Amino acid sequence: MRAVVTVTGTDKRGIIAKVSGFLAERDVNIEDISQTILGDKFAMIMIVDISDSGKKIAELAKECEEMGKSIGMSVRLQHEDIFYAMHNV
């Protein structure tokens, strides 16, 4: 099952390392990654596969949210279907 991880907040060093390490620890595989910096605002989007993690998507979403708080960023993990539904005719 695929999900989308978004990380937004003020740009700082080590965000990608922290987030990708966190996902690797949970056997979440990163399939695609892109990032944008607008002024001092950082936005990173990852497409990930959570099939091997053994965890429910809601559980991972909660862990991501908590990890985000610990690094002062907003980190969300959502089922990819919400984006397909909203942005495809």
Partner 1 sequence: MFNKFDVLETIDMIEKEHLDIRTVTMGISLLPCIRETADKTAQAVYDKVCSKAENLVRVAEELSAEYGIPIVNKRVSVTPVSLITAPFAADSARVGLALDKAAKTLGIDFLGGYSALVHKGMSDYEETFLRTIPEVLASTDRLCSSVNVGSSKSGINMDAVRLMGEIVKKTAELTKEEDGKGCAKLVVFCNAVEDNPFMAGAFHGVGEADTVINVGVSGPGVVQHALSFIPEADLTDAAETIKRTAFKITRAGQLIAREAAKRLSARFGIVDLSLAPTPARGDSVAHILEELGLEVVGGHGTTAALAMLNDAVKKGGVMASSRVGGLSGAFIPVSEDIGMIESAEAGKISLDKLEAMTCVCSVGLDMIAIPGDTPATTIAAMIADEAAIGMINNKTTAVRVIPAYGKKVGDQVSFGGLLGRAPVMPVHTGDAGKFIRRGGLIPAPIHSFKN
Chain residues binding partner 1 by CB under 8 A are 4, 6, 8, 34, 36, 43, 45, 57-58, 61-62, 74, 76-79, 81-89
Query: In the complex, what is the shortest distance from the CB of residue 82 to partner 1, in angstroms, rounded to a whole number?
Result: 4
Residue 89 C-beta: closest distance to partner 1, Å: 8
Which CA distances in Å does 29 have to 19, 46, 82?
Answer: 12, 10, 20
Give me 27's structure tokens.
């056997």
In angstroms, give the least distance from the CB of 36 to partner 1: 7
